[in-house]
Amino acid sequence: MKIRTGIALAVMMAATTMTSAFAQSSGADTYKAKCAMCHSATGTGNAGMKVPPFKSPESIKATDAALIAAITKGAGTGAIKMPAYAGKLTDAQIKDVVAYIRTLQK
């Protein structure tokens, strides 16, 4: 019985690791395709477009829910505004992008 429990535990751990690695990978792919042109490949932002870096205190303090809302509904004011990605990205893709943004903040 202990062997089966050990095997089951190992399979669960592997699945969790693979899922998180896949989410980070797909988040990175989506970020590169949809976000990097304004936010830069490393998340440093674009001063000319007044896009703040993800390492700014405001971005770091923003909750995942706030980032999800900004991506879903769009954000910003003035002439240049981030478009809304509702209907263009799935909820899962948006969550994966947020997870990837958190890696850029480290």
pLDDT in tens, 40-86: 999 999 888 889 899 999 999 999 999 999 999 999 877 779 999 99
CA torsion sign for 66, 72, 76, 77 is negative
CA atoms within 13 A on the CB side of 31: 23
pTM assigned to the model: 0.75
Q: What gap in Å lies between CA 54 and CA 39, rounded to an integer?
A: 8
pLDDT in tens, 32-46: 999 999 999 999 998
Please report the pLDDT score of residue 50 as a whole number.
87
Please report the pLDDT score of residue 73 as a whole number.
97
Annotation: CATH topology of 2-104:
Cytochrome Bc1 Complex; Chain D, domain 2 (1.10.760)
Q: Structural domain boundaries of the chain?
A: 2-104
